[in-house]
Amino acid sequence: MKQTFMKVHILLFMLVFILVVTACQQNKSRLDHQDMPDDSLLNKETSASDIEADDKIVIGFSMDTLAEERWLRDRELFKEAVEALGAEVKIFTSKGDDALQILHAENLINEGIDILVIVPHNAESTAMIVKKAHAAGIRVLSYDRLVRNSEIDLYVSYDNEMVGELQAKAITKLVPKGKYVYIGGAETDYNAHLLKKGVFNILQPLIDKGDITIVYDQWTKDWHPENAFTNMEEALKANHNEVDAVISANDATAGQVIQALAEQGLSGKIPVVGQDADLAAAQRIVEGSQTMTVYKPLKKLADQTAELAVKLAKGEEIEVERIINNGKSEVPSILLSPIAVDPKNIDETIITDGFHSREEVYKKNNSN
């Protein structure tokens, strides 16, 4: 009996001991929970800190080329505009290589940019970049050149069809009848097609009347000026130098067209038009070997694109007045108005704007 009592006593003691220890542990657990910050709260605080540190909008800028004067300007002006808005820009140039441009864009997307701005080399193949960016939740803005067959978020450019119309209007005033040569841009660049469409909006009625005959019409592969030189040589040879006017897709190609004419003693005798208002073109206009160019104030384009890119990155709504079909979707578009420049207004346009200085433009002419 006594042994049974002792066993019960021991069991009761052990039970009480276990209850006390358990209560202490639970109490300690509650104290520990109160003393230590909650894991989710810690994560929230860390995330907030990270967001504050990384609040700067990062824009990826994928460019086709820097081989021409205007694209060097675009790069610097866009960088300045982005940084003036408190954002950051990462710039890659693909040198006319489609595969490299796609690789660069993938790298930018993987780096976690907020928005991608792209100047496509190939308007068709670049659609792959848009798809990859969207899959990563990144919106895409097409700068100056339209990406085809994709659901691009916004397109900002000068009205390229109007550029072609300005070229054709200027040259048909000088040569209302005759044999015309058309030296286009790169066939892979949709802008080149828009330029050509604008040109033929003006030329076609005159062609239909029989006043104008297109005796040579060729694209310039990759916009390389040396290809334009070859094309113009072929045009002159095929027509025994009997050409009355030349429309060239831009100033770089126009320069080589004029070089080909010069080798035949025809520079300054046959009107040649271009676009971009390159310094060399402005000098040629002053000296008389190029008839006109089309000025597209690049600062205005860069500033507006930078502003819109930041808004897109923040998820803000953008109102547009133009919609352009790119073969797959209706693309919200903002198209700025270009300006025709000839010897009569060169001072009040590109020189007054500071695009080129008077000394630069007239230097070559004054040295003669």
pTM (whole model) above 0.95: no
Q: Cα 195 to chain center, whole Å?
A: 17
CB–CB of 261/195 below 8 Å? no
Determine the pLDDT at residue 44.
34
160-296+340-366 and 55-152+298-336 share a CATH fold: yes
Per-residue pLDDT in tens (0 to 9) along the chain, 368 residues: 444 444 444 444 455 454 444 444 444 333 333 333 333 333 333 333 343 445 899 999 999 999 888 899 999 999 999 999 999 999 999 998 999 999 999 999 999 999 999 999 999 999 999 999 999 999 999 999 999 999 999 999 999 999 999 999 999 999 999 999 999 999 999 999 999 999 999 999 999 999 999 999 999 999 999 999 999 999 999 999 999 999 999 999 999 999 999 999 999 999 999 999 999 999 999 999 999 999 999 999 999 999 999 999 999 999 999 999 999 999 999 999 999 999 999 999 999 999 999 999 998 666 54
- In the chain, domain spans: 55-152+298-336, 160-296+340-366
Burial state string for 112-138 with b = 16 or more CB within 10 A and e = fewer than 16:
ebbbbbbbbbbbebbbbbbebbbeeeb
Structure tokens at 192: 């080149």
| CATH number for the domain formed by residue range(s) 160-296+340-366 | 3.40.50.2300
Determine the pLDDT at residue 34.
33
CB–CB of 299/347 below 8 Å? no
Q: Which CATH architecture has domain 55-152+298-336?
A: 3-Layer(aba) Sandwich (3.40)
Determine the pLDDT at residue 266.
98
Amino acid at 25: Q
Q: Which letter does DSSP use for residue 292 in this model? A: B
Determine the pLDDT at residue 282.
97
Helix residue ranges per DSSP H, the chain? 2-35, 39-53, 69-84, 98-110, 127-135, 160-174, 190-209, 225-238, 251-262, 279-287, 298-313, 358-366
Determine the pLDDT at residue 14.
54
Determine the pLDDT at residue 55.
82
